Structure 1
């Protein structure tokens, strides 16, 4: 249960979704019943059949930054790629750079829109993980400039260029700061959310800015030795109130995505009560973890040996999850960020 190899599985490369479907809610939905292990094959827009009036869906309303920038070194003109990871303070950011060997402390990188320079960044430090710390200088609003010259940082397994960058955002995305999308939410349309609310299902918002550590495989043999990346989260008093009242009335809390799970479980007391909070979480959920808050989970299909696969295994049981993944491969479900969905109840 604690071996990384226990969370490996064979996935044919052609099952890795390279682009989103034309309609968000027409993806397939594998429904896994936790108690019995029963599996059903449905379509995502039928998810309301598994939810009850009084249940609460918890969504993560983070917004993906167009965080991949293409610039050039000021002194040589050599091309360099920058990926924003985390804002440190003011105009300083922790980033990844390619090629990293040539990005030296003291160098300056310039970014333009093909006509004129819009931003410059001085490399002021290196990080323990091989990244760099950049200090940006610019005129105007940083996020507006990013929107002009940045591109969406799609995961490395997606080779196809994204035609519409809004398809890597949820329809309810509000607060910019993520390096990756909370992909379970990509299946919802505004119409489907409205339909569920009319059905008597509550929708509560949390925030967790997704970091690129999400995509990193676990490299230690014993998963208990893995060091989790940290991510910024917020839960408002309003959201805490909605969730606590749901529990009091006997409703279920259904997390939309592993990011919502990590946020809720970070903020939950031992009695399951959610407390308003903000800060950083590096919670690592793997089998043996005792869940305090959530009763159900909507999620995508995750990479082998990933912390996300370990999280869903903690919730549903490793054997049931691995059996469900085998079934999904057999039925040729689409995997990963632009792939199909799973409902675990």
Structure 2
């Protein structure tokens, strides 16, 4: 199967640059994975498609304000750091721009010295290992100095950091938001629970690899980036009970999907666990846990589009995307949503 099999033409003006004022006012395209039938709704009405006993799986990762703008201590030249992953203590794997000016030993200053750093070594893919020094609590310093690491296709400056964060975000660690969850409010989640739908929270820290294009001509030649995930005993029990009762497991976002599919045994059962996953889901994959998916509209030729196609069929999905373009849906991170049932 070729990467080009997942191409579609997207007008640039349909790429959402800003979040809507009301989270639940996004549009919702409903795709029947068996028939290919398409319906249109407002996202706030998603509760009408959830049944008592169903389980909604949500990724409670929290996006770090991981973009830091600073200067080199010796020359004052501007430099940008993007935090990728904490290695140990105050040592982080980072992406530095311009990388050529960040040789080992380079000293960096952020926020008039509130945060300082030293480049220790060059890591994989040209990333840099950096050790930070500061007074107080790192997360508080980062919150005051850092900016949200918005995807490269968003050129507008984000006015409110919380709009690139789900309302149930809990555990720091992501370089990007699990964007399907951005449509939910606390009120909507309360209404969903009141209907008898169970909520299960899992964690997958989204890496920058989620934005990397598939460069291989054939999809099987593509190597997925690795991301850390965790499933609690409580979440595992809730999901297992849903499966055993014959009700549906509905994942909010591709990250929740990748988490439960990585953690499940061959019978689709989960247990408390954590680890790294580089699972690649594409057409032909047999889902062990997931029944339905809530997701945003993804980039052409992306692994995320391949995952949705594995669930609903490539032709059905591309037809739905063409319809979304015709109907002027908003695409990507701040865009509208799709429910595959």
Q: What TM-score results when the alignment is normalised by the length of structure 1?
A: 0.98
Query: How far is the alpha carbon of 1:90 from its aligned partner?
Result: 1.1
The SS at the match of 1:185 is helix
Please name the residue that 2:79 is paired with: 80
Query: How far is the alpha carbon of 1:106 from its aligned partner?
Result: 1.2
CA distance in 1, matches of 2:277, 2:93: 18
The SS at the match of 1:84 is strand
Q: Deviations over 1:153-189 (max 9, x none)?
A: 0001011111111000001001111000000000001
Please name the residue that 1:179 is paired with: 175
CA distance in 2, matches of 1:282, 1:90: 25
The SS at the match of 2:100 is helix
Please name the residue that 2:263 is paired with: 267
Q: 1:257 aligns with which of 245, 253, 260?
A: 253
Query: How far is the alpha carbon of 1:128 from its aligned partner?
Result: 2.7
Q: Deviations over 1:92-113 (max 9, x none)?
A: 111111111211111111111x
Aligned 1:282-321 pairs, distance under 5 A: 282-321=278-317
Q: Deviations over 1:120-160 (max 9, x none)?
A: 11111112312111011111111000001000000010111
Please name the residue that 1:62 is paired with: 61
How large is the Cα RMSD of the aligned pairs?
A: 0.7
Alpha-carbon contact 1:300-1:339 (below 8 Å) kept: yes
Aligned 1:93-132 pairs, distance under 5 A: 93-112=92-111, 116-132=112-128
CA distance in 1, matches of 2:133, 2:97: 20
CA distance in 2, matches of 1:119, 1:93: 14
CA distance in 1, matches of 2:84, 2:301: 22
The SS at the match of 2:125 is coil
The SS at the match of 2:238 is helix
CA distance in 2, matches of 1:248, 1:131: 45
Q: Does 1:210 align with 2:206?
A: yes
The SS at the match of 2:236 is helix
CA distance in 2, matches of 1:108, 1:302: 38
Please name the residue that 1:90 is paired with: 89
Q: What TM-score results when the alignment is normalised by the length of structure 2?
A: 0.99
CA distance in 2, matches of 1:119, 1:35: 54
CA distance in 1, matches of 2:40, 2:203: 30
Q: Does 1:13 align with 2:12?
A: yes
Deviation above 6 Å: which 4+ runs of structure 1?
Answer: none
CA distance in 1, matches of 2:212, 2:240: 33
Please name the residue that 1:34 is paired with: 33
Structure 2: which 5+ residue stretches go unaligned? none
Q: Does 1:278 align with 2:277?
A: no
CA distance in 2, matches of 1:128, 1:135: 17
Q: 1:333 aligns with which of 326, 329, 335?
A: 329
Please name the residue that 2:49 is paired with: 50
The SS at the match of 2:71 is strand
The SS at the match of 1:210 is coil
The SS at the match of 2:294 is strand
CA distance in 2, matches of 1:217, 1:7: 12
* Matched positions, count: 341
CA distance in 1, matches of 2:34, 2:320: 13
Q: Deviations over 1:265-288 (max 9, x none)?
A: 001111111121101111111111
Structure 1: which 5+ residue stretches go unaligned? none
Q: Deviations over 1:191-230 (max 9, x none)?
A: 1000011111001000000001001110010110111101
